Amino acid sequence: MRYFALCWPVIVLALSDIISKFWLLLGYDLGAKGRVTILPFMDFILVWNKGVSYSLFTSDSQLARWALVALMLGLCVFLSRWLLSTQNSIEKWGLTLILGGALGNSFDRIYHGAVVDFVALHYNTFHWYIFNLADVYIVMGACILAYFMFFLQKRQ
């Protein structure tokens, strides 16, 4: 029962990421619309990321694609085991966010062959990298884990 209870938040996060991408691809047809201004500092634009964060190590090779899938799924197994072993609720939330995001992006890489990125933040001529909900979950989870490890864990 404990394992089942820990799975739901991860599944919800991964599905929210996957559903948002399918809606933008199929329902909204973002690929045909090009860049769409949402706010003065935020646009939606379709980008297929065949690399890792910030499109580093981009490759069109199927070997690279499946190597990244294997790496991500291995990371998901590691994070799942960590999540199941921790007793701290803050640490659990951080791991849940990271795991949900990792599964969402892994699904993209398996299904589409690349990660679907679509949120572009900018200010004047400065443009941040293009990202998706899964990336937001991963960054939030990493911040929670860093806070836990550097500030809270020392007190316990």
Q: Which residues are catalytic?
A: 117, 135
Integer Cα distance of 140 and 113 in angstroms: 25
Strand order in the sheet with 36-39: 36-39, 42-49, 115-123, 126-131
Decide the pairing of beta strands 115-123 and 42-49.
antiparallel
Backbone φ and ψ of 134, nearest 5° = -60, -40
Integer Cα distance of 103 and 123 in angstroms: 31
